[in-house]
Amino acid sequence: MWKELLNPKTQLFFKDLKDAPDDKIEELIQFWEFIKNKK
């Protein structure tokens, strides 16, 4: 988790998450899961 927070790409994700409206958050989470599963 902390490694992800320090990663610039994931920092961007968390920043988006903070600023996102609720319906966008759901989308971001699904996108995030997709990226995580690709690794």
Query: What share of residues in the chain are helix, strand, coil (percent, to 5)?
Result: 85, 0, 15
Q: Tell me, rounded to whole angstroms, the distance of Cα 13 from its chain centroid.
A: 4
pLDDT of residue 4: 63
Per-residue pLDDT tens over the stretch 6-32: 677 777 777 766 776 777 778 878 888
Give the number of C-alpha atoms closer than 13 A to the C-alpha of residue 25, restricted to the C-beta side.
Answer: 8
Length, in residues, of the chain = 39
pLDDT at residue 36, rounded to an integer: 85
* Rounded-to-integer distance, Cα 17 and Cα 25, Å: 6
Do 17 and 25 form a contact (C-beta atoms < 8 A)? yes
Residue 34 has pLDDT above 80, yes or no: yes
- pTM for the structure as a whole: 0.41
